[in-house]
Each structure stands twice: as structure tokens, then as C-alpha cells.
Amino acid sequence: MSARILIVDDLAPNLHLLQVKLSAEYYDVLLAQSGEEALEKIKDERVDLILMDAIMPGMDGFETCRKLKNNPDTYHIPVIMVTALDGTKDRIRGLESGADDFITKPFDDFNLLARVKSLLRLKMVTDQLLSHTGHSLANSRTVVQEIEKRKGRIVVLEDHNKRAQQLTAPLQDIHNFTIATRPEEVVGRKPSDTDLIIVSLTSENFDGLRVCASLKFDHETRNIPVLLVGTPEDENRFVRAYDLGINDTLMRPIEKQELIARVNTQLKRKFYSDALQENFNQDLEMVVADPLTGLGNRRYFERSVAPLFESIEKGEPFSIIVFDIDHFKRVNDILGHDIGDDILKEVATRLVTHMRAIDIVSRYGGEEFMIAMPNTVLDDAMFAADRIRGLIGGTPIYVDGQALSITMSAGVAQVAQGEKLREVFKRADSALYKAKREGRNNVKAATIQKAA
């Protein structure tokens, strides 16, 4: 199932223009022509991201956004304001109303899509945490209220003293900050002592984009939000930065209130994610979990999929994917078990990040991972498995500064009526070994099991 985006605009031409652009990128698109209609639609439909016009008759985009962000049920849904307003005050108003980003018409398609993808990545991680903790949105009200009071710990990477002061002066009475002048002071920081990293794109002594890439590929820092600061001439580099995984951008000259608003937006989302993660960690102590990767283990998986076998009788399909890291024994023998463990943790992170919130991801044993995909037929599960295979094989895993190329093979099976887990696992596992025999870095479908 692709991400679902709600477009809110009172003008039909604007709605349909964005609908065409997003549908071409294979997103599911919902439409609403007012703030009131948007709020009603969200009650009945799953929404992963909202693109909303600021100026509409009746309830405008600012008020609609405030209502969304004050409601624990919708707090976690990212909102991008899309508007013809280009004044700084309007951007600040949008951000202070709770919008995660603000983009001005006419906008560049690549810029918009890069921002959309960036926010959807964050939404997927939040959904996964909510799914695994059982922590409902409705009981998040206390969490939402508490994060409004917290001070952030911010690191500013800027080697020009005057520019550093422009960034830190507006924040000094609101948050705690540290100024760093060299990338090595930032890369590898512990998430436990850093809530936001602000990186300058205009330094003469380091490449800001390379720093961002290092931060987002490093296991320690990938979940720390990054705000990139540049000039209007850096527009194309901003788009590239979003592809690397940064969270937001800010243009020079710095406007104090916009800086504060963007910083606060990133910190609130980080604090919310941290609260869910803490809940997740507590829950892991009460279930059988894999201590290395943080995923549920074999027993957890078997318990979690039991209700799905009951849903088969109601005509609701589901499929299972068995992933296995190729040549993993060779990795352990040559590079050592510590690096092998780091690879397992990274693979687990990528699997969780790129699967849906409703999917059940576990480490089934050794280098083998099992994923259950509810409401998914074989063809769709094959597509998902091959997409994940390509993402893992196509992006190096960095361990102790080494770029390691790791591939995975997979076997996929759709569960048939009357089938037991051991039976569907046997079919998927046979498909996995067929993929191994045929060269690895491959996905194979299991033979079809006829209904009993």
C-alpha cells in the first residue's frame, strides 16, 4: 500500500494539479476543498501527509493545522503548507500553527517531492513505533503536553563566528546549544545528548552536504533531526539534502522568528518520537525480544501473526516474507562478529523503516528476518520484498568508516486458508533457498498452496 496524501485547497485547479503530480509518483491521493472537510475526512481515512493551502474561506489552513496539532489522534501527521503567500510573517505563522514545512507557489516539483519524501520517512518511523508499542494516539495527550515544556540540546556546526552568532543568539533564552566548528565534533554524537543539529551550507572549510550524508548514514546520529542553513543560490543542493534524509532547511538572511519556529517544529517531533521510543523500550522488556536488533524474535512473531491466520477465514489475505543476508557467515569469519552484529542492527533498522506500520517485522534467527504483511496478496508482497532487496543492496552499510556492500535474498508466500505458520514458513523458506541457488540478491515466490 502506498503512502496516502490529503490535498486541501478550495480551488479545484490547484487540487487537480497536485493530484496529477503526486499520483504520477504512485501516492494515493485524497482531496478536500475546505478545512472542515479535511478534518472530517481524516476521521474516516488513513492519512500519512497533508498538503494544505493557507488561505481558504471559512476555516483557513492555519486554523485547520492548529486543530490537527492539538489533537493527539492527528498530532503525528506531517503538514506542509502550500501557498502563494511569500512573506516571512506568513511562513512563521504557518510554522507556529504546527506545520512541519512551508512551501511557496510557484514551487519546483523536485523541491516539493523531496520534502514530501523526507516527511513520509519520519511518519513511517513514528507509525512503526506506535504499532510495536501498542501506545494509542488517544493516550498521547500527556506526551504532547509535556514536550511543549522541554528545552532542546542543539549543536550548531558553523565555522564563521558572525554567522554562528546569528543562529545562536535567537535561541539562547529558549534552548541549550553548543557551537562546533569542525565536522568531527558533530558526526558520531550520541542521540542521548543531542536533540537537533544545525549545519551550515556556506562554510569554506567543510562540505555541509557531506556532513549531512555522514550524519544520516551513521547509526548513532541518523535519528537526530538536521536543519540545513544556506542561501537562495543553494536551492538545488537543498533538494539533494532532502534526498540524503535531512529534516528541514532555512534560508539566509536569518529571520529570528522563522529560525525559532523551524527549530521548535523539529524538536517537538524529536521529543514525540523519543517518548514513543522510550515506551517501545519498556514494552520490549515485557515481551520476548531480540536483544541485538530490538525487533521481536521468533516467539514474538508467532504470537503476533496468530490473529492474521484467523482473518484468512474472513477472506482477508496476508503474506509472509523470509529475508536472509547473503554470505553472512563469510562476513563473520572475515570481519568478525562485532561487525556482523552491526550489520544485523543496520539491516533491522532498514527493514523497519521501509515497511508499513501494520507489517510485523522480526528477527527469526541468525541472519534471517521474517515479515508478515496483512491485507497483502502475493504479487504486492513480491513487489515490497524486491523493493527492500534493492534498497539494501543498493546502499552501502557503513561500519567503523568502512562502506560494506550487503545483499539479501528473500522467499515470499501468500497464506492459504487452513494453512499453519509452519507450513507457510516451509514454503517461503524453500523459495528463499531457490533464490540463493540462483545467484543470491534475489526474490522468489513460493509455490501456490491450494486451499484445503
Nearest to 172 by CA among 252, 98, 246, 256: 256
The answer to whether the CB of 309 falls within 8 A of the CB of 256 is no
The DSSP line for 319-367 is EEEEEEETTHHHHHHHH-HHHHHHHHHHHHHHHHHHS-TTSEEEEEETT
Say if residue 76 is exposed, middle or buried (CB neighbours under 10 Å; 0-12, 13-18, 19+). Answer: buried
The answer to whether the CB of 305 falls within 8 A of the CB of 288 is no
Q: Which helix (H) or strand (E) holds 81?
A: strand 79-83
Catalytic site includes residue 37: no
The answer to whether the CB of 232 falls within 8 A of the CB of 201 is no
CB neighbours of residue 335 within 10 Å: 16
Which one of the listed residues 367, 368, 419, 423 is annotated catalytic? Answer: 367
Instruction: Report d(CA 334, CA 321) in Å as an integer.
Output: 28
Residue 172, C-alpha cell as written in the block: 539562547
Query: Strands 196-200 and 226-230, how do they pair?
Result: parallel
**What single-letter amino acid sits at 142?**
T
Q: CA–CA distance from 257 to each of 107, 176, 179, 260, 262 (Å)?
A: 23, 17, 20, 5, 9
Taking the CA atoms of 255, 260, 266 and 269 in sequence, report the sign of the dihedral they define.
negative
Catalytic annotation, residues:
367
